[in-house]
Chains A and B, each alone.
Chain A
Amino acid sequence: MKFLDSLRFRIASLFRRSELDTDIEEELRSHMQHRADDLERAGLPRWKAERQARLEFGGPAKFREQTREAAGGTFIESIFQDLRFAARMLRKSPGFAAITVITLGLAIGANAVVFGLLNSLILRPLNVPDSQSLYAPERKASFLDPSQSYPDYLDLRARNRSFDGLAGFTVGFASLDAGDSPSTSWMYEVTGNYFDELRIQPYLGSFFHASDEHGPDSVPYVVLTYAYWHSHFQDDRNVVGRTIQLNKHPFTILGVAPPGFHGTLLIFSPDYFVPMIDARLIDGNSFLDSRQTRWVFMTFGHLKPGVTKAQAIDDLNSIGSYLGKTYPKDDDKMSFTLARPSLYGDYLGRPFTAFLTALMLLAGLILLAACANLGSLFAARATDRSRELAMRIALGSSPARMLRQLFTEAVLVALIGGALGLWGSVNLLQTLSVWRPVPGVTSTIPVTADANVYIAALVLALASGFLFGAVPVRQVLRGNPYEVIKSGGSAQVGRRISARDILLGVQVAICALLVTCSMVAVRGLLRTMHSNFGFEPRNAMMVNDYLNLGGYTGDKVPAMQRRMIDALQTIPGVTAVGMIDQPPLNEGWNSFIVYDDRTADLTPANAAAEVVGYSMSPDYFQAAATPLLAGRTFNWNDDANSTRVAVVNNEFARRIFGSAAKAIGGYYKMQDGTRIQIVGIVPDGKYTNVTEDPHPAMFRPILQAPSGDNWLVIRSTTDPQSLATAIKSKLRGLDSGLPFLIETWDQKLTTALLGSRIATASLGVLGVLGSLLSVTGIFGLSAYTVSKRKRELGIRIALGAQRRELLEAALGKAIRLLAWGSVAGLVIGILAGRALSFIIYRATPLDPLALAAVIVAMALLGLLGTWIPAQRALGLDPLTLLREE
């Protein structure tokens, strides 16, 4: 309370400032008049008495100041004074002010952006009530997988005692016809209890509920997202009750979801929600009864109050082992873990967290480097101002007061820089949040700068202000005013290594580390782009058509597929046309478990391998430019009536047969017992993502493993534009109502390489920031050295020093610091690079080219930073110099 009282008193007296001053003034005058009255009574004339009284009183200014301080009015007031003074000092050296503010702005901006991402993606859960208790069960398979089969989901929902309820959803694609023309759209197929489990209320109309479900295709309702309603129905409040066509089936619009709700995946927002129970109606086929097909993308629910994560996991595991015992053919013993649903569970959550944490760390280092930089600038400035500071000490300013003045200046710079950085980062985050990384998909990165980001930026600004403001403290306190003023403030040679030099060394090391990281990342990305995917994306066009959306089912599908291939083959310049159900490195893939031919008991526990499986047309390998290592590829005679065959990759052959040679002609079994003969071997490629280890894969003829998903691969050296036009007209000629997408395979791959690209871009930006900082740091030190030692350098020239010796004297220290700092940074970078290789595919720190690039980069930065000071040192004219002093 004492403190509060005193604070209140001080604040009050701040506003009473003028009142207090008048008060003091009047009282002192009254005192002197009373004294003069006495002196007059003793016989002095009035004017003499008044003069005498003033003399006796002593320095009124000094006492006035002391009195004001005793009255408690000076603390806040002097802070304002300090602020005004600091602003004036900064205005007087605009170059210094600009450099410091920009440096700090960049560093704080970088931190605010990374923190903003971390905050929106990791720290902040979904925008629904009670989202803290929302968890998604993930199966521990070869990786953590949140997907379930529909019957398993029903069992998990019915048998668990830990969740308030369990909802599920899967992501789908459909053509939507609201009356004018069909357009492609993204949907979540959700369980009936989806909205109720999320505890959200409709913005308009109503939601469907679990109680509406009465068996397959019983709930022909659709709920629109707010964004889709806004963009496609122009905010029309009368849409509720309207009928639209989904894949040519009528559905009634039931309601509109609230504006803040974009689905349960942060990076994938649907256009609308439909009941999963209608899957057959919408997709043309349904896996509602299949326990083996884990097509429910993710399930989630609120943990019951009082139930811990560990208890819930135990609960789920016991259900898992029950299911494994009851359905040994379908479920091996399943074990579970819990994850946050918003980032696709741990699948994206883990790498996102790891990457953003690493980025945050690097951004922190940038800020540290910036502080080191500004610290040495402030120290240099304090040296330049040593005469002024000494004068002030000599005139009776207290050291505490002077330190406060210096800190005020540092914090002022920090706050301005922080505001600048925050402004920039808020804008950048805004841009990011409307950026569509994957063309054609409504996938937004929902980043917004909230209060957390503002607070973080403010705290960082204040902390860094105090950090670099503290650098010159010792220097100021130790300064001996007498010496400084006597010697003119320039003669101090100082110790061999000062705190400033160490700061610069540390800063150079940090920058070298950042440059190393970004070089390693860039090299990794380049190598990824040119690595062997198992196919050749250049000169290939991809057409994704939606036969099921076009109304093709059953036997009509293979016939149409054949017709499309034949039609496209007639385009001039096309060398091969192939078809595959899912291209490698697509967003989705199909996984199968396979058994050794000798295995009789086909339970998942006895499986030989989990493999990625493809259905393809005979010419796919030719179209994809995948070389055949051994055996043959398919032909159209490999149909439903002939021996089941497959082409497998090297890894498959090695894993199950020991070698490619043994595999040719060998057999393996599928889950349903089908024996498949291996007729060919292809090299290993990349299937699920570019960073995966060699993964077994099998390719089967499309007539033996039919699929409604179609990706046509057209190889041609014709330019993509005219090829696309030709493809379009051919397909339109076959069926004008068939929806399809055309893109080059390179464009298609953008998505697969997006992660690496983003990682490389962010590291690159940090590397550039680091380089900027080290250039300004080195420039600062060498320019300062040259200007301080002008006289000495002039004498050296006069005594006949050569250019080399002169430069050695002027810049030797800066260069040595640069060299040592770079070496230290490089070594740390090599160690840290190991961590990088987890994030960026094929990033290895021990890459001679990357390391050479770092060394060249640091040398160039050094050259850049010392160039102007060197010119200045060489251009010194000893005569003018010696005359000046």
Chain B
Amino acid sequence: MGDQAQLLPGTLDLLILRAVSLGPLHGYGILLRIAQISGNALLIEQGALYPGLFRLVRQGLLKTNWGTSENNRRAKFYELTTAGRKRLREETANWNRLATAIGAALGAQPEEV
């Protein structure tokens, strides 16, 4: 676990939206999906996921349905709403701009300045 990165503040919401954008998932599934798509590089405390999920539901970005999971257990499934899809696009673009800018700033060589 030593080489896992701490999550930047505010990025959990973006990761949740991204994970759910690939299809409806329950909470644990979202956790697994994030681990999978990030190549196990990000550390998320399991319980910390839920305040984020409820917040996104309240903001109208996610909608929920109780259903049955692949393990044949009752679980609550999360799904993107239209507003959520739009927010994901915006946030992704924002993130890319920020990442490029920071990457450029950090990668700059003394002679280029």
**CB within 8 Å of B: which residues of A?**
9, 23-24, 26-28, 30-31, 33-35, 37, 56-60, 62-63, 66-72
Is A27 touching B46 in the complex (CB atoms < 8 A)?
A: no
Please determine whether B46 and A58 come into contact, CB atoms closer than 8 angstroms.
yes
Nearest chain A residue, comparing its CB with the CB of B32? A38
Check B74 for interface membership: any CB of A closer than 8 A: yes
Q: Does B54 contact A70, Cβ atoms closer than 8 Å?
A: yes
Let me know if A28 and B50 touch, CB within 8 A. Answer: yes
Kindly list chain A residues whose C-beta atoms are within 8 Å of the C-beta of B73: 30, 33-34, 37
Q: Which residues of the partner chain B approach A27 to less than 8 Å between Cβ atoms?
A: 27, 50, 75-76
Which of B26, B50, B52, B53 makes the CB contact (< 8 A) with A34? Answer: B26
- Pair A57/B46 contact, Cβ less than 8 Å: yes
Please, which residues of chain B bring their CB within 8 A of the CB of A57? Answer: 46-47
Whether, in the assembled complex, B96 has its beta carbon less than 8 Å from a beta carbon of chain A, the answer is: no
Contacts of A71 in B (CB 8 A): 54-55, 57-58
A56, B28: Cα distance in complex, Å: 12
Known A56-B46, A63-B48, A69-B51; further 13 A-B contacts with Cβ < 8 A: A9-B58, A26-B74, A30-B69, A30-B76, A31-B27, A31-B28, A34-B73, A35-B28, A57-B47, A60-B47, A70-B52, A71-B54, A71-B58
Known contacts A34-B73, A37-B71, A58-B46: A67-B27 contact under CB 8 Å: no
Top 3 A-B pairs ranked by shortest CB distance?
A63-B47, A34-B28, A70-B54
Contact residues in A for B47 (Cβ distance below 8 Å): 28, 57-60, 62-63
Docked Cα-Cα span, A33 to B28, in Å, equals 9
B26 proximity list for chain A (CB < 8 A) = 30-31, 34
Of A30, A58, A63, which is in contact with the most chain B CB atoms at under 10 Å from its CB? A30
* Residue in chain A with minimal CB distance to B48: A63
B54: chain A residues at CB < 8 Å are: 24, 67-68, 70-71
Q: Smallest distance from the beta carbon of B82 to chain A beta carbons, Å?
A: 18
Q: Which of A26, A31, A56, A72 is within 8 Å of B58, CB to CB?
A: A72
Interface hub of A27, A37, A71 (most chain B Cβ within 10 A): A27
Of B45, B46, B52, which one neighbours A31 at CB under 8 angstroms? B46
CB distance from B56 to the nearest CB of A (A): 9
Q: Considering only CB atoms, which chain B residue lies closest to A69 in the complex?
A: B51
CA gap between A27 and B54 in the complex, in Å: 11
Known contacts A58-B47, A59-B47, A66-B51: A30-B58 contact under CB 8 Å: no
Instruction: Determine the residue in chain B with the shortest Cβ distance to A23.
Output: B76
User: Which residues 38-93 of B have a CB within 8 angstroms of A?
Assistant: 45-48, 50-55, 57-58, 69, 71, 73-76
- How many chain B residues sit at the interface, stated as a range, is 20 to 34
CB distance from B29 to the nearest CB of A (A): 8
Neighbouring A residues of B55 by C-beta, 8 Å: 70-71
**Contact present for A63 and B74 (CB under 8 Å):** no
Q: Is the CB of A58 within 8 A of B45?
A: yes
A515 vs B54: C-alpha distance when bound (angstroms)? 61
Q: Quote the shortest CB–CB distance from A31 to chain B (angstroms).
A: 5
Q: Is the CB of A34 within 8 A of B51?
A: no
Given A67-B54, A70-B54, A71-B57, decide whether A34 and B75 contact each other with a Cβ distance below 8 A: yes
In the complex the two chains form, is B46's CB within 8 Å of A34's CB? Answer: no
Residues of A within 8 A of B50 (CB): 24, 27-28, 31, 63, 66-67, 70
B contact set with A: CB distance below 8 Å: 26-29, 45-48, 50-55, 57-58, 69, 71, 73-76
User: Given the complex of chains A and B, what is the CA–CA distance between A72 and B54 in angstroms?
Assistant: 9
**Residue of B50, B55, B69 with highest tally of chain A CB at under 10 A:** B50
Candidates B27, B45, B51; contact of A30 at CB < 8 Å: B27
Shortest B83–chain A CB gap in Å is: 14
Centre residue among A23, A34, A56, A63 by max chain B CB count within 10 A: A34
Q: How far is the CB of A56 from chain B (nearest CB, A)?
A: 6
A-B contact pairs, 8 of them (CB 8 A): A23-B76, A26-B76, A57-B47, A66-B51, A69-B51, A70-B54, A71-B57, A71-B58
Bound Cα distance from A57 to B58, whole angstroms = 23
| Most chain A beta-carbon neighbours within 10 Å: one of B45, B51, B55, B75 | B51
Distance (whole angstroms) from the CB of A501 to the closest CB of chain B: 45
- Give CA–CA (A70, B53) in the complex, Å: 9
Residues from chain B with Cβ under 8 Å of A58 in the complex: 45-48
**Closest beta carbon of chain A to B17's beta carbon, Å:** 15
- Enumerate chain A residues within 8 angstroms of B69, measured Cβ to Cβ: 30, 34
A71-B60 Cα distance, complex, nearest whole Å: 11
Note all chain B residues with C-beta closer than 8 A to A9: 58
- Interface pair B74/A35, CB less than 8 Å apart: no
B74 contacts A70, CB within 8 Å? no
Q: What are the residues of chain A within 8 A of B48 when measuring CB–CB? A: 58, 63
**What CA separation (Å) do A57 and B49 show in the bound complex?**
10
Instruction: Tell me the complex Cα distance, A506–B65, Å.
Output: 62
Residues on A with beta carbons closer than 8 Å to the beta carbon of B57: 71
- B residues in contact with A28, CB < 8 Å: 47, 50
Residues in B neighbouring A24, C-beta threshold 8 A? 50, 54
Establish whether residues B51 and A63, one from each chain, have CB atoms under 8 Å apart when the complex forms.
yes
Q: Which residues of A contact B45 (CB under 8 A)?
A: 58
Chain B residues whose CB sits within 8 angstroms of the CB of A59 once the complex forms: 47
Complex interface: chain A residues within 8 A of B58 (CB): 9, 70-72
Shortest A578–chain B CB gap in Å is: 91
Contacts of A60 on B, CB cut-off 8 Å? 47
Distance between Cα atoms of A35 and B52 in the complex (Å): 19
Instruction: Assess A67 versus B51: contact at CB under 8 Å? Given A9-B58, A34-B69, A58-B45.
Output: yes
CA distance A37 to B76 in the complex (A): 17
Nearest to A30 among chain B residues (CB) is B75
Q: Which residues of chain A are near B71, meaning CB under 8 Å?
A: 33-34, 37
B100 to chain A, nearest CB (A): 31
Bound Cα distance A23, B75 (Å)? 11
- Residue of A at shortest CB range from B57? A71
A56 to B1, CA, bound (A): 13
Assess the A30–B74 pair: CB atoms within 8 A.
Answer: yes
The residue on A at minimum CB distance from B69 is A34
Q: A35 — which chain B residues lie within 8 A by C-beta? A: 28, 46
> Once the chains are docked, how many angstroms separate the CA of A59 from the CA of B46?
10
